Structure 1
Amino acid sequence: MKMIADDLKLLKGMEEDDNSSFKAIYDKYSKALFLYAHNVIKDRAVCEDIIQEIFISLWAKRKTNKITSLKPYLFQAVKFKIFNHFRDNKFSREDLTRLNIIDVSMNVSQKLEYSELDQIIRDHVAKLPKRCRHIFVLSRYHHKTNKEIAEELEISVQAVKNQISKALAFLRNNLQLEEAIAIALILLN
């Protein structure tokens, strides 16, 4: 909770044009966001551009943003930018392999909107067993580490890993081929 309170304080400072608050947010999250993007897009320059765009937007909208939880907001912004990158650029065979998408014959140029993909994923996640779903949501939507989840739920890190693996296997097996691009969004580490 302290982390969320600290973030809200920084957001408030940024809203009041405090450059040091913005720099503190950047210093706190930029490296993790870059690594998150780089796990999918193995192009350093593209990842740097994505992170830069997110922080430029964060600053530009500082007076109108109604962010209540900064970390999930920033990671969701990265997911959105990654999706846009893949939507706007043709997938290479290497990209498809890296994302564990087996059927490369699907039409990746479909004009699916991010919100539609997100809803498809959420619908499938809702079908997971309760405990598995809870752990998956903490991991992928709240961007908590396995250790943080284990401590919060008072279970072992291995139990967390097992539940996440179970969730990912379920999602891989239940997503239809035309939804396979959604895997790119949920498999981000």
Structure 2
Amino acid sequence: MKMITEDIRLLEGMKEDDNSSFKAVYEKYSKVLFIYAHNIIKDKVICEDIIQEVFISLWAKRKTSNISSLKPYLFQAVKFQIFNHFRNNKFSTEDLTRLNIIDVSMNVSDQIEYSELNQIIRDQVAKLPKRCRHIFVLSRYDHKSNKEIAEELEISVQAVKNQISKALAFLRNNLQLEEAVIISLILLH
């Protein structure tokens, strides 16, 4: 709860053009966001650009955005930038191999389509069994580690991994091919 309160204070400071609040947000989240992006895109320069874009956008929208939870917002923004990176065909053969994508065209043109796809994913996630869905949401949307989830729910880390695997298999089986490819990009952790 302390973290959420601190984030709210920092967001309010940014709305009042407080550069030190922005710097504090950057220092708090930039490294973890970079690591997250780098786990998907193994190119340091591209990941640095993605993180820079996310923070430029955060500052540019500081007075108009209604961010209720900063950490999930920032992770979602990074996911969107990664999505744009792949959509714009700036991926290497290594990226394709690592993601097990062979000759699949992602013809998604704008954020509206991304939002629609995200809604499709959320609809499918809602169909998961209650416990599986809860664990999946904690992992992929709240960005909690398997260990954090296991401690919170008082279960083993292996049980968390099993539920996440079960959820991903369900989503892959219930989405069209292009959606399944894109979900693997969006939900990689």
Partner Cα separation in structure 2 for residue 91 and residue 44 of structure 1: 13
Q: Tell me how far 1:110 sits from its aligned partner.
A: 4.6
The alignment status of 1:107 with 2:105, answered yes or no, reads yes
Aligned residues: 186
Runs of 4+ in structure 1 displaced over 6 angstroms? none
Matched to 1:50, the amino acid is I
Q: Tell me how far 1:176 sits from its aligned partner.
A: 2.0
| 2:128 corresponding residue in structure 1 | 128
What residue ranges of structure 2 are gaps of 5+ in the alignment? none
| 2:163 corresponding residue in structure 1 | 163
Matched to 1:36, the amino acid is Y
- 1:21-40 alignment, distance < 5 Å: 21-40=21-40
8 Å CA contact 1:90–1:109 kept in 2: the answer is no
Between stretches 73-82 and 172-181, larger displacement belongs to 172-181
The 3-state SS of whatever aligns with 1:172 is helix
Matched to 1:173, the amino acid is N
Matched to 1:168, the amino acid is L
Partner Cα separation in structure 2 for residue 90 and residue 19 of structure 1: 33
| 1:60 corresponding residue in structure 2 | 60
Partner Cα separation in structure 1 for residue 91 and residue 120 of structure 2: 21
> What's the CA shift string for 1:76-115, capped at 9, x where partnerless?
00011111111112544322221233xx233223547211
| 1:117 corresponding residue in structure 2 | 117
* TM-score, scaled to structure 2: 0.90
Q: Describe the shift of the 1:154–1:22 C-alpha distance in structure 2 as closer, same or farther (beyond 3 A).
A: same
Identity across aligned pairs (percent)? Answer: 78
8 Å CA contact 1:91–1:108 kept in 2: the answer is no
| 1:85 corresponding residue in structure 2 | 85
* TM-score, scaled to structure 1: 0.90
8 Å CA contact 1:90–1:108 kept in 2: the answer is no
Partner Cα separation in structure 2 for residue 170 and residue 147 of structure 1: 23
8 Å CA contact 2:85–2:91 kept in 1: the answer is no
Partner Cα separation in structure 2 for residue 93 and residue 45 of structure 1: 17
Q: Tell me how far 1:43 sits from its aligned partner.
A: 1.2
